[in-house]
Amino acid sequence: MSGKKSRRQAVRVPLQTYATIETTDVLTRNNQAFTVVLDVSRSGIGLRTTQPPTKGENVILRIGLGEEILRLHATVRRVTQLAKGGYDVGFEWQGCSGNDLSFLDQFIAAVGAK
């Protein structure tokens, strides 16, 4: 380890599921993308996609967690192009309800315990 402190606000838990991104930019020709979820935390989520949103853009994510499909708002914080194609995108949750955050906490605790 290089001795640098992590800037992450919360522990990320690896996760294997799918999600969709819906951008709120009406000028975008294709405002929806299918993604693979990489990890999730109380503060955000990491996804892999071939159709990345723009850094700073607000989006709606629909994520399959267990038997639930959550609809959450997030802001794009990081977009990294991969050498073999595709993009890793980091999001920060925005405007989540107390119920949404409670469900995320329960889900992360259950997945992290495995």
Bridge partners of 13, per DSSP, are: 40
- Residue 53 sits at the vertex; the CA angle it makes with 101 and 95, to the nearest 5 degrees, is 25
pTM: 0.83
pLDDT digits (tens, 9 = 90+) for 63-96: 988 788 889 999 999 999 999 999 999 999 998 8
- How many Cβ atoms sit within 10 Å of the Cβ of residue 104? 22
Residues 86, 53: contact at Cβ < 8 Å?
no
Residues 75, 39: contact at Cβ < 8 Å?
no
- How many Cβ atoms sit within 10 Å of the Cβ of residue 21? 23
pLDDT digits (tens, 9 = 90+) for 98-107: 898 888 888 8
Domain 13-109 carries which CATH code? Answer: 2.40.10.220
Between CA 46 and CA 51 the distance in angstroms is 14
